[in-house]
Amino acid sequence: MGGVKLRNHRLRIAFVSVSFAVVSIAAFVSSTAAQTFKKAIPTPADWAAVAKLPDFTGVWEIPLGGPAARVTNPAIGVPPRRFAPLSLTPEYEAKRKDLMAHAEQDNQSANCLPPGMPGIMAQPYPMEFLLTPGQVTIIIEAYSETRHIYTDGRPLPDDPDPTFFGTSVGHWEGDTLVVHTVGFSTQTEIEPHVPHSDKMSILEKFRLLDPNTMSVETTVTDPEALAAPYVTNRILKRHRSWTIAEYICEQNNRNYVDRSGKAGINLTVPSDATPAPK
Amino acid sequence: MKPITKYAVLAAILFSGLVAATAGAAAHHGFAVFDTSSQKTITGTVHEFQWTNPHTWVWLDVPNGKGGVDTYGFEGMSPNYLERRGWTRKTLKPGDTITVTYFPLKNGDKGGSFLIGKRPNGEELRMFLDSPTEDH
């Protein structure tokens, strides 16, 4: 009996070990399928190469402009310079009109969902650029968001998960950073109330016009939503003394949408117990 | 320029700008709840100033004529925006007296979108301000 028990015990160990190995291999295979590109360990030469790139570092913001803009831009996002009118396919023009008709509902922003791409690059708040070997990182103040642009030669994924920022790769063409982004959630919009399909792709060209002025040319392509590529340009100005501030939208979000779809505001008076700043 | 005239000009600029741009663009963060076609003015004492995202909130105790106060809520710009334009979390303190000009809420609730606050000494606290000067 004892021997049988022992054998069973050994069998059990063997079974558990094999199971663990199978699970491990499965996990390894799925993770390698998702991320096949391994980032190289940066060398001193890689860091030296970064130093030779155009100086994008620091905090930049879209200037908010004159009297009208200074009132309105903070509430609506900053309109770009358009090279041609936004031209939607009939199907998406109908969707846009439907969204406009229900603009009052505005569920996304009422619930603090961030705009995602490309709207996140048009906020009336600054963004910071970080250049490191094989990567450009953009820290966006609005909604405390981050874009990762891989410049290490990796390809774009064939079938990316749809996300708010998409998946970005970039390369330098002379002094211009060229960024391709794919894989967007259809919860994001090309512009307020302008929808897109999951086929949307975005090409961005970042370059310095002078040491403290950056041009961002953005081309949005979408074979289902757009009748023609939508090309816009925005100008960013550098603010050397600025730092990026915190922006936690859920901290004191008083917007809501009621059951009838109407936007409302929660006017509950904050607790008297909250200590006032001295 | 007399203070009242200057104030009227400011209000007109704010008003025309807002109407022009909200007409064609989407309201961000529920701006649709405010009636941007009219402005109201009310005086009270600060109950609390919330220096929070996504909006600051000025809570104002206003005498209600029945021996008590009603507390009004006024939405303002975010700390990020305001701190680069001269405001701090201590700009308004509980007990401060201010007269607030605002876009009222469409549903008639007590509150709105804070445009300009005026202290008894005439100092104006504006919520929508110029872009800061660039510094390189």
Whether residue B26 and residue A193 make contact (CB cut-off 8 A), yes or no, is yes
Tens-digit pLDDT profile for residues B68-93: 999 999 999 999 989 998 999 999 99
Closest-CA residue of chain A to B91? A277
Say if the ipTM goes beyond 0.85: no
**Domain range for A106:** 48-255
As beta bridge partners, residue B3 has none
Range 75-104 of A in CB contact (< 8 A) with B? 75-77, 79, 103-104
H-state helical runs in A106-193: 107-110
Same domain, A128 and A89: yes
Q: A106: which chain B residues are within 8 Å (Cβ-Cβ)?
A: 26-27, 29-30, 32
Class of residue B78 by CB neighbours under 10 A (exposed 0-12, middle 13-18, buried 19+): buried
The rounded distance, in Å, linking the Cα atoms of A52 and A56 is 11
What pLDDT was estimated at residue A264?
85
H/E stretch holding A170 reads: strand A167-173
Same domain, A188 and A251: yes
Same domain, A11 and A121: no
Same domain, A120 and A174: yes
Whether residue A68 and residue B17 make contact (CB cut-off 8 A), yes or no, is yes
What pLDDT was estimated at residue B26?
29
A42 within a domain of the structure (yes/no): no
A275 within a domain of the structure (yes/no): no
Same domain, A23 and A137: no
Residue A223 at interface with chain B, using a CB cutoff of 8 Å: no
Closest CA to B93 of B67, B125, B115: B125
Closest-CA residue of chain B to A192? B26
H/E stretch holding B125 reads: strand B124-126
Question: Structurally, how many domains does chain A consist of?
Answer: 2
A261 within a domain of the structure (yes/no): no
Same domain, A27 and A54: no
Range 60-79 of B in CB contact (< 8 A) with A? 71, 73, 75, 77-79
Same domain, A98 and A219: yes
The rounded distance, in Å, linking the Cα atoms of A202 and A179 is 8
pLDDT above 70 covers a percentage of chain B that reads 77
What pLDDT was estimated at residue A149?
98
Residue A139 at interface with chain B, using a CB cutoff of 8 Å: no
SS3 category, A93: helix
Residue B17 at interface with chain A, using a CB cutoff of 8 Å: yes
Whether residue A254 and residue B33 make contact (CB cut-off 8 A), yes or no, is no
H-state helical runs in chain A: 2-34, 44-51, 67-76, 90-101, 107-110
Copy the structure tokens of residue B108: 């008639």
Please report which confidence band the pLDDT of residue B24 belongs to, taking 50, 70 and 90 as the band edges: very low
Whether residue B26 and residue A104 make contact (CB cut-off 8 A), yes or no, is no
Same domain, A97 and A154: yes
Same domain, A61 and A97: yes
Where residue A103 sits, what CATH number does that domain have?
2.40.128.20
Residue B81 at interface with chain A, using a CB cutoff of 8 Å: yes
What tens-digit pLDDT sequence spans chain A (278 residues)? Answer: 344 444 455 555 454 454 444 444 444 444 444 467 888 899 999 999 999 999 999 999 988 754 434 444 444 456 678 888 899 999 999 999 998 887 766 667 778 888 899 999 988 889 999 999 999 999 999 999 999 999 999 999 999 999 999 999 999 999 999 999 999 999 999 988 899 999 999 999 999 999 999 999 999 999 999 999 999 999 999 999 999 999 999 999 998 877 777 778 999 998 754 555 55
Residue B30 at interface with chain A, using a CB cutoff of 8 Å: yes
Compare CB distances from A75 to B28, B129, B135 and report the shortest one's residue.
Answer: B28
Provide the shortest C-alpha distance from residue B119 to chain A (in Å). 19
What pLDDT was estimated at residue A16?
46
Same domain, A79 and A14: no
Same domain, A76 and A27: no
A262 within a domain of the structure (yes/no): no
A270 within a domain of the structure (yes/no): no
Q: How far apart are the first and last CA of chain B?
A: 35
What pLDDT was estimated at residue B29?
61
Same domain, A27 and A77: no
Q: Spell out the domains of chain B, with CATH numbers in brackets.
A: 3-126 (2.40.50.320)
Tens-digit pLDDT profile for residues B26-67: 234 657 788 989 999 999 999 999 999 999 999 999 999 999
Provide the shortest C-alpha distance from residue B71 to chain A (in Å). 7
The rounded distance, in Å, linking the Cα atoms of B8 and B15 is 10
